Amino acid sequence: MSKELAKTYDPHGIEDRLYQKWLDKKYFHAEVDESKKPFTIVIPPPNITGQLHMGHALDNTMQDILIRFKRMQGYNALWQPGTDHASIATEVKIIETLKKEGIDKRDLGREGFLKRAWEWKEEYGGRIINQLKKLGSSCDWDRLRFTMDEGSNQAVTEVFCRMHEKGWIYKGNRIGNWCPVCKTSISDAEVVYEEQAGHFWHIKYPLIDENGEVSTTEFLEFATTRPETMLGDSAVAVNPSDERYQHLVGRKVLLPIVNRQIPIVADSYVDMEFGTGVVKITPAHDPNDFEVGKRHNLEQINILNDDATINENGGKFEGMDRYEARKAIVKELDDMGLLVRIEDYSHNVGTHDRCGTTIEPMIKKQWFVKMDELIKPAVKAVQDKEIRLIPERMEKTYFNWTDNIKDWCISRQLWWGHRIPAYYCDSCGETVVARTEPTVCPKCGGTHFTQDPDTLDTWFSSALWPFSTLGWPEKTKELEYFYPTDVLVTGYDIIFFWVIRMIFSGYEQMGEKPFKTVLFHGLVRDSQGRKMSKSLGNGIDPLEVIDKYGADALRLTLITGNAPGNDMRFYMERVEANRNFANKVWNASRFILMNMEGKEVPADASAHLEPADKWILSRLNNVVKEVTDNMENFELGVAVQKVYDFIWDEFCDWYIEMVKPRLYATDDADSQNAALWTLKTVLIDALKLLHPYMPFITEEIFCTLQSEEESIMISSWPVYQQERHFEKEEQEIEILKEAVRGVRNVRTSMNVPPSRKAHVYVVSDQKELQNTFEEGKLFFASLASASDVTCQADKTGIAEDAVSVVIPNATLYIPFAELVDLAKEIERLEKEEKRLEGELSRVNGMLHNERFMSKAPESKIAEERGKLEKYTQMMEQVKERLGQLRK
């Protein structure tokens, strides 16, 4: 055999080369093929602003494992890739770039800005794709999509128009999150809550008496964290069950500074136990107040401009920044005697995840999706297990979202994104939603229109991802064949923002589920269990890990011990350990290749298999069955642990060591060929089981080891074979392994060097057990460092001082004199006895020294007492051993 592996495993030398080979050979590409069963995964599209992080690495490793596994099982496997335009994230990045050039977004105008945005996308948009390739992701890159490409634009417009025609999409005034810096509404997904030090301002509003006069003696006191919002108060509320205030319900208070009378309403939203049990109600600036306002038909007064300065409804504070106005209002209330006190208060404040600005809840006229009917099929699908959530506990989170679903705000005040296909007649203001710009107004006959300036929420387009990427709204052959998709792999943190929206969109547009299974994974945390973040500076760049240890070692680290839905801690020590595992596989493969050099390994050696060969084939057979079952059930971490243990422990540490004497013996060609055939067969199947997890090293070894197939990627997945089930040999070899472990433990406890051989006697009255040792004598002697192995029915002829090892139905004896050089061992132990006498004398001296005991720290005293206990125990063992030897 002319092929060979390099002396040392170097991922740098093979990973890029092999990935290019796979691309050139089109192994990742899937075409419609009715003769095969499809298996489809759509990638959670990373943002074009994205840089590969550990969350991406985990998510894509899991998908790659599944797609490689199914490809090897013979499925027509499609992993559909793509990227997301990420409206806000991208716009923020571009604005930052423009600022450095001294350019304001508005100066460019919409068209000029979009030109820059597309240039930015072309320059940076493919970066994360190249990084995913470094990870080994086997996506069908020929089918790469983008959420703002022509096909996606068509799908988004079609869905908007269809849903508007059905009444699911409407325009209305509702409260939402507003970013004063980015000047857009944002979704709950983009709000990060962080603890901020603030205050509770305790304020009192004067009551209006029965005559309509402002009382100077009666007040309602409450506390607020945002005093400036009082400018938009429409009421104060109390709990209907609160006896303190029941008599006041229906009366009014004076809103100071603004001098507007507002009602006192009773609403169960108010917590009687919190503060004074009175709450100010500002429907335009608080989501809870908005709901209270709807129940009581209260006025909605917006007091803020888009940049969070006070608007004309704020009277004399108009034009002030919100925090500047806060100070002025607090001062004025204090001057009027209406500020009771200020209390320090730490609370969670919503900030925009992209720019860090504190968001403002604000009422805006926006486009919404009506959710009450749309969500029903999505609820039923999970209830009826038509869609499986793994782990199952995620159903609780899922139903928590669906049970509390609100209408979805889909408009964003941005330029980068899908523009809303709504047009306003310049003559009469009529709104026309259409797939293309209308030519005539249906109401007044006008011919001039202005398109809605807003764009759609990014999630609107990604909600269509499972079918828009396959060509919808066209009825393509890909859509018919690959849809519904099979598995969605995603983090549990976007269960609502993405998963639920894809599910209801699939049922609404396609009439069926978008995928059969959702596999959730947790977050990758640092070694201390903290979330990785820029602020903590604890993020680990996957590309740096790949550069140092290789993609295979990183992938194995991310998946080992990883259970669905659970967060995992990332340790660099584990990456090193997995790199060591790669070295172990590499070195074992080199050993096998070297022993095959110049030899014709038979195509089949089943007629000459020995018990050790049958044992490893049977163990492999079991592993194949268990690992396949685990992977079918998405227990990827459990599966790879079994493969790892089999390769390292059973194959490398046991079987290879078992067959070495046969490989080096030249007198039995059949036995040697059987060993070589088994080594090659087992290694090939083990590599196949490992391939989805460690694609690069397995490909390199596989292609070097055999010439029948051009790639492990397109080889067939191993299957359980009844003819490889050897229960008897499994039991026999396990007995021999137990005997080897017993002998090794005895030798270790007696400090016997590995080079010292000793005769091992196997005593058993069971002929079958004696035969087991006879058949395995060659490798047992090698592994147990035995000079010879004798099997007999009783203890006849065995020295009285022989050391014994007990195993089921047999006892192994090793003559003491063959294990130990008596004179040398006595001399060594006498030296040890003398050393321990000195140590005990020193420790006892310190512990009986009153000065030491009174002045030394407690920790030092405890340390010395620990030493006394240790040395006393060691001395007892030495004396006992010397006594035995001197006999």
Please indicate, yes or no, whether residues 210 and 334 belong to a single structural domain of this protein.
yes
Please indicate, yes or no, whether residues 879 and 758 belong to a single structural domain of this protein.
no
Q: Do the Cβ atoms of 155 and 44 come closer than 8 Å?
A: no
Asked if residue 391 has a cis previous peptide bond (ω within 30° of 0), the answer is yes
User: What is the domain range of residue 756?
Assistant: 751-820
CA dist., res. 300 & res. 147, Å (int): 37
CA dist., res. 287 & res. 281, Å (int): 10
Asked if residue 473 has a cis previous peptide bond (ω within 30° of 0), the answer is yes
Please indicate, yes or no, whether residues 193 and 320 belong to a single structural domain of this protein.
yes
Which distant-in-sequence residues (6+ apart) come within 8 Å of 710 by Cβ? 25, 703
Is 802 part of any domain? Answer: yes
Number of domains in the chain: 3
What torsion do the CA atoms of 641, 647, 650, 656 make, to the nearest 10 degrees? Answer: -170
* Residue list, annotated binding site for ATP: 534
CA dist., res. 883 & res. 823, Å (int): 13
Please indicate, yes or no, whether residues 759 and 881 belong to a single structural domain of this protein.
no
Q: What is the pLDDT of residue 1?
A: 41
Q: DSSP character for 420? A: P
Is 782 part of any domain? Answer: yes
Domain termination residue (choose one: 344, 361, 378): 361
Please indicate, yes or no, whether residues 202 and 264 belong to a single structural domain of this protein.
yes
Residue 412 amino acid letter: R
Angle at 583 between CA 580 and CA 586, to 5 degrees: 155
CA dist., res. 408 & res. 366, Å (int): 10
Residues of the chain whose pLDDT is less than 70? Answer: 1-2, 534-535
Is 101 part of any domain? Answer: no
Helix/strand/coil (H/E/C) assignment for every residue in 738-761? HHHHHHHHHHHHCCCCCCCCEEEE
Domain termination residue (choose one: 311, 339, 361): 361
Is 225 part of any domain? Answer: yes
Using one digit for the tens of pLDDT, what is the confidence trace for 610-643? 999 999 999 999 999 999 999 999 999 999 999 9
Please indicate, yes or no, whether residues 765 and 834 belong to a single structural domain of this protein.
no
Please indicate, yes or no, whether residues 222 and 336 belong to a single structural domain of this protein.
yes
Is 765 part of any domain? Answer: yes
Helix/strand/coil (H/E/C) assignment for every residue in 625-654? HHHHHHHHCCCHHHHHHHHHHHHHHHHHHH
Please indicate, yes or no, whether residues 218 and 244 belong to a single structural domain of this protein.
yes
What's this model's pTM, rounded to 2 decimal places? 0.85
Please indicate, yes or no, whether residues 261 and 288 belong to a single structural domain of this protein.
yes
Is 261 part of any domain? Answer: yes
Domain termination residue (choose one: 334, 361, 388): 361
Please indicate, yes or no, whether residues 239 and 344 belong to a single structural domain of this protein.
yes
* Residue list, annotated binding site: 534
Q: Which CATH number do you get for residue 279?
A: 3.90.740.10
Please indicate, yes or no, whether residues 206 and 266 belong to a single structural domain of this protein.
yes
Would you state the structure tokens that stand for residue 783, as one six-digit string? 């592994």
Q: What is the pLDDT of residue 606?
A: 87
Please indicate, yes or no, whether residues 210 and 195 belong to a single structural domain of this protein.
yes
Helices (H), 491-610: 501-510, 542-549, 551-559, 572-596
Is 232 part of any domain? Answer: yes
Q: Which CATH number do you get for residue 827?
A: 1.10.287
